Chains A and B, each alone.
Chain A
Amino acid sequence: MRKLFAFAVATLLSVGAAQADRLDDIKKDGVLRVASFDSNPPFGSVDPATKQITGLDVDFAQAIADKIGVKLEVRPTNPANRIPLLTSGKVDLVLANFTITEERAKQLDFSIPYFASGQQFLAKKGTLSSPDQLNGLRIGADKGTTNEIVLRRDFPKAMVVAFDDTPFAFTALRNGNVQAITQDGPKLVGLLAKVPDRQNYEIPAFSISNDYIGVGIPKGETRLRDLVNETLRELEKSGKAATIYDRWFGPNTEQPLPRLFRIGEHD
C-alpha cells in the first residue's frame, strides 16, 4: 500500500518538477515573494505607523527585488514556517534571520551569509552567568530554530519549551514560566530594546554557537542564487550593506551593535 502511494506521489512529483526557472517566473509575475519575520525587530516587524513589515531583512529583500526589477511582496512568517513556506513554493526567498546549517542545506540552497551572530540567552538579572547553569533550567526557545536543536543537543538536561515566536517566549519568561530564553544575540538585543522594564533583564556575555545568516533559496534554482549572491556582494562593495546595517543596528538606534561581519568574508 505504501509502495503504491509512494509511486503515485512520485508520478505527481515528476509532473511538478518540469517547471520553468524560478527567476523567469519572478520576472514574468513582476513580484518577488519573500518570507520575513513580522514580530522580531529589528530583523522584521510591523511598523505601527505604516502597518507594513520593515526591518533589516526586508531592506535586503528590497535590494534583491530592485536588482531583479520587480515589486517586493513580504509575507509574514514565524521561525517554524520558514522551510515549509519555501519548499511548498509559497515564497521565492526566505529572509528571516535564517541560520545556514548543513542539514538545512540539504533541503534548500543558501546565499552567501549577509549577517553573523551567535546563540545567546536572555534571563532575569542574576539567574544566569555561565553555560554550565543551562542544564537544569527551563528555557524558552522558538519552534523550528537551530537554537532549539543546538540547546537540546548540547544541554540535554535543560528543559526546552518551544513557542511560536520569540515574544511569546519572552512573555513566558516575564511570567516566570521559563527561567531563560534563547535566540541569536542581535535578535535578543533588539527584543530587549522594546521591553518597557528592560532594567530587570540581561543578556549574559556568553554564546553557545556561531551562526551565519543567509537567504533561503529553493533547491536547485542556480540562477536565482547567483543573482542573490551578486546583489549581496554589490551591496557590500557600494557601502549600501553598511548603510542598511546602521539603519537598524547603528549608533543612533535603540540597539547599537558594532558591525564586525562583512559580506563576502565567509563564503
Chain B
Amino acid sequence: MSLFGDLLAPRYLVWLLQGFGITLALSAAVCLAGTVLGLAACCLREVGGPAARRAVAGFIGLVRNTPLLVQLFVWYFAVAALLPSGLTGWLNTPHTLDLGFGALHWPAYETLAGFVGLTLYAAAYIAEEGRAGINGVRPAQREAALALGLTPIQAFRHIVLPQALRIAWLPIVGQYLNTIKNTSLTMTIGLAELSYASRQVETETFKTFQAFGIATLLYIGAVALVEAGGQALARRAAPAGSRA
C-alpha cells in the first residue's frame, strides 16, 4: 500500500500545521485589512468627488479583472525589480521593532508581497459587495433622512451605511472564504503556507495522498468554520422584526 503506507511522521504533521497556521494568520490579516480598505473605497465612491470616484472605480476594475496569480507575480517579481534598489534593500533587511513586552519582526518580502496582493484583491471585491449593499437600501430611506435635516454625509453614515452593511455582510463573509482559499496561490512566490507545506511534505515523504488530503481537509474545515461563524453573526445582528 504505497498510497497510504504508514501515517505521516509527526515532524511532517508539524510542517503541515505550521503551514496551516500561516494560512490562518495571513487570511485573518488580509480579511481585516481588506475589509477596512474595501469599505473605505466603497464609502469614497459614494461620497467622494468625481476624481476620487473614478480612481476607486478604476482600481476596482483593474484588480477584479486580472488573475490573482498574475497580480502576485507582479507584486513579488515585478515590483521588486521596478522599485529603486535602496528601497528594495530596506524592504528585504530584517527590521525589529522592540515593543518592550515583545518584538515585532519585519516580515520577509514574500509575506509582504503576498499580504499586499491578497489584501488589494479582497478589498476590491469587498468594495463591490459594499456597493451592492448600499444599492439594496431603498432610496426613500435616504430621502427621509435628508428631509429630517441630516446632511448627505450624515444620512449616509447613520441611515444608509448600517443597513447596507447588514445586507452586505454575508457576501463579505463569502469574500473571507475566498481569501482563505486564495492564500494557496502565495505558494508560487515562496510563502510557506499550507499548500506550500503540503508540497514540501510530498517532496520529502512522497506521501502525495496524505499530504494533499490533510491540507484539503484543513482548508475545508477552516472555510466551513468561518462560514458558520459568519452566518451565526448575521442571525444575531438581524433586527428583531426580520427574524424568521
Contacts and interface: CB of A to CB of B under 8 A. Distances in A.
Q: Do chains A and B touch in the complex (CB under 8 A)?
A: yes
A103 interface: yes
B88 A175 contact: yes
B188 interface: yes
A149 B4 contact: no
A143 B199 contact: yes
Given A107-B206, A144-B199, A177 B110 contact: yes
Contact of B203 (A9, A140, A144, A159): A144
Interface string B58-93: 000000000000000000110011000100110010
Contacts of B80: 175-177
A159 B189 CA distance: 15
Contacts of A80: 199, 203
Interface string B35-71: 0000000000000000000000000000000000000
Contacts of A176: 80, 85, 88-89, 92
B77 A175 contact: yes
A106 B188 CA distance: 28
A175 B81 contact: yes
A106 B206 contact: yes
A149 B81 contact: no
Contacts of A148: 200, 203
Contacts of B199: 80, 143-144
Given A107-B2, A175-B88, A177-B80, A149 B203 contact: yes
B15 to A, nearest CB: 11
A164 B196 CA distance: 10
Interface in A169-215: 171-172, 174-177
A171 B81 contact: yes
Interface residues of A, number: 31
B21 interface: no
A10 B92 contact: no
Interface in B196-235: 196, 199-200, 202-204, 206, 208
A177 B92 contact: yes
A36 B47 CA distance: 56
A13 B3 contact: yes
A96 interface: no
B188 A164 contact: yes
A6 B4 contact: yes
B1 interface: yes
Contacts of A64: none
Contacts of A224: none
B82 to A, nearest CB: 10
Q: Which of B81, B89, B190, B204 gathers most chain A CB within 10 Å?
A: B190
Contacts of B89: 176
Contacts of A137: none
Contacts of B189: 163
Contacts of B110: 161, 177
Contacts of A163: 188-190
Interface in A229-253: none
Nearest to A106: B206
Given A83-B206, A87-B208, A168-B77, A161 B4 contact: no
A262 to B, nearest CB: 30
Contacts of A13: 1, 3
Contacts of A172: 76-77, 190
28 contacts: A6-B1, A6-B4, A9-B3, A13-B1, A80-B199, A83-B206, A87-B208, A138-B108, A140-B190, A143-B196, A143-B203, A144-B199, A145-B203, A148-B203, A149-B203, A149-B204, A161-B108, A161-B110, A161-B190, A163-B190, A172-B190, A174-B81, A175-B80, A175-B109, A176-B89, A176-B92, A177-B92, A177-B109
Interface of A: 6, 9-10, 13, 80, 83-84, 87, 103-104, 106-107, 138, 140, 143-145, 148-149, 159, 161-164, 168, 171-172, 174-177
Given A107-B206, A140-B190, A148-B203, 8 more contacts: A84-B208, A143-B199, A148-B200, A176-B88, A176-B92, A177-B76, A177-B108, A177-B109
Top 5 closest A-B pairs, CB basis? A175-B80, A161-B190, A177-B109, A144-B203, A107-B206
